Structure 1
Amino acid sequence: MIKHKDHFHGSDLEKIEEIYGIKKEEIVSFSANVNPLGVSPLLRTTLADKIDAITTYPDREYTSLRKCIAAYCGTDHENVIVGNGSTELISLFIQIEHPKKAMIIGPTYSEYEREISLGGGTTLYYPLREKDDFRLDVNDFISHLNENIDLLVICNPNNPTSSCITSADMRHILDACKEYDIYVMVDETYVEFAENMEEIDSVPLTNYYNNIVILRGTSKFFAAPGLRLGYAITGNRDLIKAINTRKNPWTINSLAVVAGETMFSDTAYIKETKDLITKERARMYQAFCESPDYKVYKPSGNFMLVRILRNDLTSQELFDRAIREKMMIRDCSTFPFLDNKYIRFCIMNPEDNDRLLHCLLNNE
């Protein structure tokens, strides 16, 4: 095994190529959590047909795009803000709210803490517990909220645990946060992959609560991370005005507008994605449930977290085993509250999933 201290993100294929000598084009990334169908055929043809869109500036208000997003999400287009990926919107939101003390439910995506730190704030983590299968104990969590916290960050479904919070529980959280004047930022990057999406979608709550903003993007579900198209939904018009005032004009390019207006109404692709992920997720979950070497946590996203039960095996060793077979999984030892006994991988096409199952379950 190559000894190294690198922990690779799903986009780090160049580093993999350098260290392992494997061409990045040959690697199946089970680490990036991107839709295995790739870009939809409709989007490919539409972008080719409308390439001349780049000869003009997009609408400064992105009205048509925001209406498409609103129809897709079931909200009013006035509640929608678009940005250059959800990362731009996270940054803008934190700049505006300028939290002094934030609470993050972890383990989770590291960018939240980074942005809060850049704004001069400090971060507390509320840990999801392994004994609860990384599912949130809502009553216990609420008991840890207080008036010193001004921002709560929730990833739902959560990365890397793939656990979720129902909208009923989210209501309890929002009510408690309202008492303490805490704003809630919910990252729903993976919500469209959830089989029970209607039970965890927080968009309807924006009609009743003004202390919530929801972030989504097109990188994962629509397999378009390079498009850099993200959006936020909130019923707080003051926040929308503040973000639009601060946001640079035309951060969404003309082709991204065309792409967005196409993909959100591409019902055939959306259904095919949901059907594939639902079927393959259940199959892979069952396979790991039957293995004595692993404990798998019930997933809601298009990925699953697995704990290694064997004493003679680590997450880095499994990463190494998989990458030598040109498959990249995530070594989760760098996530808060996890160690070198956890791996994460996403759901891919059936043939690739079979290869990964054989690699992780059958090799000694």
Structure 2
Amino acid sequence: MIRHTDHFHGSDLETIEKVYGIKKEEIVSFSANVNPLGISPKLKATLSERIDAIMSYPDRDYTSLRNRIAEYIRAEADDIIVGNGSTELISLFIQIKHPKKALIVGPTYSEYEREVALGGGSTLYYRLEEENDFILDIPSLDKELTSDVELLVICNPNNPTSSAISRTDMRKILDICKKKGIFVMVDETYVEFAEDIRGITSAPLTNYYNNLIILRGISKFFAAPGLRLGYAICGNADLLKEMNQRKNPWTINSLAAIAGEIMFADEAYIKETRTLIANERKRICSILKTNKNVKCFNPIANFVLVKILKDDITSLDLFEAAIREGLMIRDCSTFPFLNNKYIRFCFMTPELNNKLLQVLLEVLK
């Protein structure tokens, strides 16, 4: 077994295949945080019937898709903009707001920092403290929101900590930012996995705050990263107008738009996903909490951050033990403020979860 010091993203299966000599088709990725049920059964059964849609250009305004999303998230269609994945919308937003200085709540996803940098801005991190179980402290954040900060970036629930900010607390944060002239970007990629979605999502707050934009996509919950479909919710009509003016037309192809409409309406699949994740989240964490060699941080999303307490074991040790069995977890040592004592893995089916736990706990015993 080659001992490799690179750190792999959940989509880096080709690299894993090359380095470890394991066929990518045989790797189960606990690193990608994707719904283990796969794509919507309703989508599988009906999308092929709509293949003729590729003979026409999509509706430039994606009216039907936005109406379906609005129904799904209980928002107004006029407050929704769709894009080629949430990444396109983040880029558009950053290009328009062009923040000279952004504060990012971390440890978190690196793409935010990259986009701000591409726009010529600089970033600082507000550090979520481990002793607080990575729960954000609002008075502490308030002090970091200095007069030169123009943008606050929050992933909620956060990746990789799986911690979350309640809607009540988000309102307090928005009030602070409103007074200081700071715009807030909230990435809700994982909010649909939360047991108390309504208590966490900030979508209803877009009716009251014009300094808020919320980003979501279908890559994780709907297990369709290849479709590249994302959307944003924002009550700032001027901002949405400018984003639409700058956005290239037809960035979402006809089939992806139709697929979105189908997935958002598959209520049985949505319910089954939430039930599976809720049950496995509770079960796995109860097992981890009995092991004295790890600390399991309370997860809100579909993945859990684990700290290794055993001195002679590192995150790379656990990564390699798992990959030998065709199971890929996330070595978190490249995240800001984390080191080689942290791993992250998502919740899959009970059988696969048991297989991973057996491997990890064998190393940690």
1:296 aligns with 2:284: no
Q: CA-to-partner distance for each residue in 1:259-287, whole Å, 9 max, x for gaps?
A: 01101111000000000000001011111
**Aligned equivalents of 1:173 and 1:235: distance in 2?**
17
Alignment pair present for 1:24 and 2:49 = no
Q: What are the superposed Cα offsets for residues 62-95 of structure 1, whole Å, 9 maximum, x if unpaired?
A: 0000000001011100000000000000000000
* 4+ runs deviating over 4 angstroms: none
1:317-338 Cα shifts (integer Å, max 9, x gaps): 1000000000000000000000
Q: Name the aligned partner's letter for residue 61 of structure 1.
A: D
The aligned residue for residue 320 of structure 1 is 320
2:81 equivalent in structure 1: 81
Instruction: Spell out, residue by residue over 1:104-126, the C-alpha distance to the aligned partner (whole angstroms, 9 max, x if none).
Output: 00000000000000000000100
Aligned-residue offset at 1:41: 1.4
Structure-1 residue corresponding to 2:349:
349
Q: Offset of 1:145 from its aligned partner?
A: 1.1
Matched to 1:7, the amino acid is H
2:255 paired residue number: 255
CA shift, 1:4, in A, is 2.2
Match in the other structure for 1:155: 155
After superposition, the CA RMSD in angstroms is 0.7
Which residue does 2:207 correspond to in 1?
207
Shift of 1:45: 1.5
Partner of 2:287: 287
Question: Matches of residues 49-198 of structure 1 in structure 2 within 5 Å?
Answer: 49-198=49-198
**C-alpha distance in 1 between matches for 2:45 and 2:254:** 16
Distance 1:351 1:217 in 2: 27
Between the aligned partners of 1:142 and 1:347, the Cα distance in structure 2 is 34
User: 2:145, 2:41 → 1: CA distance?
Assistant: 47
Following the alignment from structure 2 to structure 1, what is the Cα–Cα distance between the partners of residues 193 and 3? 35
- What is the Cα deviation at residue 141 of structure 1? 1.1
> Structure 1 residue 51: deviation in Å?
1.0
Q: In the alignment, residue 179 of structure 2 is paired with which amino acid? A: E
Deviation at 1:137, TM superposition (A): 0.9
Q: Give me the whole-angstrom Cα distance separating, in 1, the residues matched to 2:185 and 2:84.
A: 18
Question: In structure 2, how many angstroms separate the alpha carbons of the residues matched to 1:47 and 1:316?
Answer: 41
Provide the rounded CA distance (Å) in 1 between the counterparts of 2:5 and 2:41: 39
Deviations 1:140-176 (A, max 9, x none): 1112212210000000000000000000000010000
TM-score by length of structure 1 reads: 0.99
TM-score (normalizing by structure 2): 0.99
Q: What SS is found at the alignment partner of 1:185?
A: strand
- Counterpart of 1:7 in structure 2 is 7
Is there any run of 5+ residues in structure 1 with no aligned partner, and where? none
**Any idea what SS the aligned residue of 1:16 has?**
helix
CA distance in 2, matches of 1:173, 1:196: 20
Which runs of 5 or more structure 2 residues have no equivalent in the other structure? none
What is the deviation of 1:289? Answer: 0.6
State the alpha-carbon separation in 1 of the partners of residues 196 and 138 from structure 2. Answer: 19
Equivalents in 2 of 1:313, 1:268: separation in Å?
42
| Aligned mates of 1:95, 1:46 — CA distance in 2 | 37
SS at match of 2:221: coil
1:41 aligned onto 2:45 = no
For these two proteins, the number of residue pairs brought into alignment is 364
Distance 2:11 2:47 in 1: 24
User: Counterpart amino acid of 1:99?
Assistant: P
Given residue 172 of structure 1, which amino acid in structure 2 is its aligned partner?
Answer: K
The secondary structure found in structure 1 opposite 2:144 is coil
**Distance in 2, Cα, partners of 1:123 & 1:40:** 38
1:5 shift after superposition: 2.4
